[in-house]
């Protein structure tokens, strides 16, 4: 896999796509400029000061529908290629709901550019036992997630995919996190263990 610097040289562009639920969506808990994707965009601008950086924020209709559109915000102007950063989070999304809106994050850019890096984070809603419209067992969650990863791999076969483990909700999500670890190994994708970091921070 080429590095970001190499991709900027060979393709003149790099695309990052973030797919998830309310944590990725951010709103209504924070502004668009306070989401973790916004902070990531700022860090990319700092790391590549001569590169144009554009963030695409998904505009939500409701938690079960595809996004209405993406609004583009230019974070930084530059002449050394372009970094595209796509925020495709919807509050209340489960993996199954995300699959139903796959058109949101496959081929977002008008040029048809494929993602080079894809980050996913799901599990909080899938493990929400108090909401039968969302809850699925850990094994169903795992197999749904596998299907989603296969869809992403099929659409962007050269992309590097990283799965972020779910943080927490007001109920136990340990089983769903455990199968996420298993899936990461089985599908040979990268792991960002937010669950472990959350526990270190809030439950030492």
pLDDT at 204: 61
The pLDDT tens digits for 137-187 are 999 999 999 999 999 999 999 999 999 999 998 889 999 999 999 999 999
Mean pLDDT to the nearest integer, 122-134:
96
- Angle at CA 77, nearest 5°, toward 79 and 115? 80
Q: In the predicted model, is pLDDT for residue 81 greater than 90?
A: yes
Q: In sequence order, what DSSP letters do the residues of 137-148 get, joined into one string?
A: -HHHHHHHHHHH
Full-model pTM = 0.95
pLDDT tens digits for range 1-57: 579 999 999 999 999 999 999 999 998 889 999 999 999 999 999 999 999 999 999
pLDDT digits (tens, 9 = 90+) for 87-101: 999 999 999 999 999
Long-range CB contacts (within 8 A, 24+) of 176-182: 176/123, 176/126, 176/127, 176/138, 176/141, 177/123, 178/138, 179/138, 179/139, 179/141, 179/142, 180/123, 180/142, 180/145, 182/142
């Amino acid at each position: 896999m080429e590095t970001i610097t190499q991709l900027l040289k060979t393709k003149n562009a790099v695309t990052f796509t973030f797919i998830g639920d309310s944590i990725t969506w951010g709103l209504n808990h924070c502004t668009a400029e306070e989401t973790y994707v916004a902070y990531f965009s700022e860090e990319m601008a700092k790391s590549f000061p001569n590169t144009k950086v554009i963030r695409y924020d998904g505009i939500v209709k409701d938690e079960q529908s595809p996004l209405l559109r993406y609004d583009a915000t230019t974070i930084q102007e530059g002449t050394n290629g372009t970094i595209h950063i796509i925020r495709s989070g919807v509050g209340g999304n489960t993996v199954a709901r995300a699959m139903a809106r796959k058109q949101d994050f496959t081929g977002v850019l008008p040029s048809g550019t494929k993602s080079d890096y894809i980050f996913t984070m799901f599990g909080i809603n899938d493990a929400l036992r108090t909401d039968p419209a969302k809850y699925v067992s850990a094994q169903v969650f795992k197999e749904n997630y596998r299907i989603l990863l296969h869809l992403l791999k099929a659409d962007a076969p050269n992309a590097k995919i990283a799965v972020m483990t779910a943080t927490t909700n007001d109920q136990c999500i340990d089983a769903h996190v455990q199968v996420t670890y298993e899936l990461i190994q089985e599908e040979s994708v990268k792991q960002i263990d937010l669950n472990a970091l959350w526990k270190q921070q809030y439950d030492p």
